[in-house]
Amino acid sequence: MAKLIYVADPMCSWCYGFGPELATLLHGLPEVPLELIVGGLRAYNTKPMDDALRTTLGTHWKKVGETTGLPFSDAGLQIRHFVYDTEPACRAISATGLLAPQSALTVFQAIQHAFYAKGLDVTKGEVLAEIVVQVLEQDGVQIDQGEFLKTWASEEARSVTREDFEQAKRWGVTGFPTLILEHRGELHLVTAGFTRTEDLIQRLQAIIDQSSATEAPVNQDR
């Protein structure tokens, strides 16, 4: 049985841009499960954003917006003393996985939208709690913000998040988004970076049609 593995970070602009392409792909493959691994783009960063980084990120965001047509707000870049630490947002995905794993991808997308389109500070627990609880309510899962924050702050959620970061490193993932296909016991790289849906379909079909694919599989070390 085939499975897709998505390695990404909710505070990665190209992952945000890739979202609609992935959604279209998944819509056409309802029988194929997706495993979400958070990558830790800038995990555990402690340095406040300076003007140089703000300018660099603004350039990246503009490029993603032009390529994808997705909305971007500059408000996130103007947050006073903002520390671009992606671990809290990644941990919100891990916490969701512990509470309601079927909603993890939807929460991932909601955090992306909150950060990039609304300019919210998704490094803050209270902001993440509001986003996650709203998504879960829409999915029919009744969890209040206090319960989510307790799980989000737990050592279990921190450990799961670290394990995801370490798994991505073991696979040699150095950029996001990365999409991998697990097929017949081997892991095959589908894309490392933003890719249109039609190209994803072609790459997946090539892997499935050729059990001994010419592209070397990612080392499976789990």
CA torsion sign, 162 to 168 to 174 to 178?
negative
Alpha helix (H) residue ranges in the chain: 13-27, 51-68, 87-99, 104-116, 125-138, 145-152, 155-170, 197-209
Residue 185 has pLDDT above 90, yes or no: no
Read off φ and ψ for residue 88, nearest 5 degrees: -60, -45
Q: What is the pLDDT of residues 111-149, one digit of tens each?
A: 999 999 999 999 999 999 999 999 999 999 999 999 999
What one-character-per-residue DSSP string does 114-136 give? Answer: HHHTT---TTSHHHHHHHHHHHH
Model pTM score? 0.92
How far apart are alpha carbons 82 and 212 in whole angstroms? 48
Render pLDDT for 18-49 as a digit per residue (tens, 0 to 9): 999 999 999 999 999 999 999 999 999 999 99
